[in-house]
Structure 1
Amino acid sequence: MPSHNLARIQIEDLDLLGYSIAGEETVIAMPQLDVCFDIGKAPDQVIAINTVLLTHGHMDHSAGFAYYLSNRNFSGMSPGTIVAPANLIVPMREIITSWGYLDGNKIPANLVGVRPGDEHQIKPNLFARAFPTKHSAGSVGFTVLEKRRKLKPEYLQLTGPQIVELKKQGVQIDNPIEIPIVSYLGDTQYVDFSQLDYVKSSKILIAECTFYELDHEGRAQAGRHMHIKELADLLAALQNEHIVITHTTQRTP
């Protein structure tokens, strides 16, 4: 029986599996991409996912990271990879070491520190790119992009054998392209993310919106979160096909 009752959303050929309530827990997994955005309380449904993209260190987003790593080890899996803001790596290692003492077993881990603009390969044709957010020290969001190659326009009318012959001659017949699949903002106050083309054009945008009451704009600013009015402004400048809202509260209508 699953440890958590996670919501499931299907968007074309991708599944989103997760739970997100502000101050309680946020964990959003995309099994087909083999990534989990934030790790919440590490529900057992996400343990088999090999890469966790951690946006910041607040407990409701990060508390389960040591359990995730330990459970993978207990289950005979390879060490999990957690990609996190660079300033969190040292304290995360200290936590893993302390839990190892308590548990009586060393907890294997692959921790990767990133700063805005850094990239991490997930699969041969898939990678994550970190971008800056405004929430806590070092906080980042992530875009998962697919690498493809596109035939150059001048070769589009060629037959298969002609293309093969050009390849044999060492002719570069295609160009590398990047397809942004999903962007996850994590927790953040309003930022004009339309300045980042890969966020602007991601097929899926996963965005937080914590405050909805008209008189709560000040609270949103104080906590460095998004208010519904700011979310509307943000979305108006983006071109995403699908929008998923996270980090609501128990009071959200």
Structure 2
Amino acid sequence: MIRRPVMHKKLNPFRILRYAVLVFMTFITLYPLFWIGLCSLKSSEEIYGSPFGIPRQPEWENYAEAWQVADIPVHLLNSILYAAAAVTVVVILSAMSAYIIAKVWKNRGLYHYYSLGIMIPINAIIIPFILIFRRVGILNTRVGVILAFIVTNLAFSIFILVPFMMGLPDELEDAARIDGCNRLQTFLKIMLPLSKAGLATVGTFVLINCWNDLFLSLLIISRQNLITLNQVCYNMRSQYAADYGLITATVMIMVIPVIICYAMFQKQIVKGMTAGSIKG
């Protein structure tokens, strides 16, 4: 029997460095969440005594207390309502706009014009933003929050979807037109099903942005029955400043839905981002 020589791969220092950087970035990204999870299972005394240690006995009562003290069901429902409404409207409007720009007008200038919306931070226009909301009468209302989320996420969503739809073959539209489809039917039956990955990417990003928002929510709503989970966590820092177990348990309740959502749509997000970048 002839023994084949064993090929040993040479260690690539650049590859080692790359993986080391990735591991380090993963650690510094996930460790704060891990630490908050540990603190949410400790009493305040244990957090002060051993802030980075493993809980001696998990304090699940922190979650039950946070659920009652922070009135989590009401504010959780508010956050879900605002995010779901904004995601629905943004996905519909951005898909229609992207289709018009990419396939009907085929106007890259208009695409770049929409892209300018990403470069303007909301902080720069917040004063006229609030003045308009007050003049219209939607300040401190649910409609105001949802509309603010839609406005601030629409430009980015169009920016993501236009390159994706530009990559879809024009022959598909021609074939649909030959089969008797009008423009709306072509959009609904051909373009939307083929853009599922891009739509999932947009929907997930908008959901995360809306769920994590604090700046706009603080400026637009102040009524206790309308505020979001983020505002609840922000308000608890003064009333329950010393009770870190309660605060971190509230934070974990707020973070868990986002983690679940991202885990469910992770493949679609990666596929949509890579497909859009390649086709654009």
TM-score range, shorter chain: under 0.3
Structure richer in strand, relative to its length: 1
| TM-score, length basis structure 1 | 0.26
State the structure with more CA Rg: 2
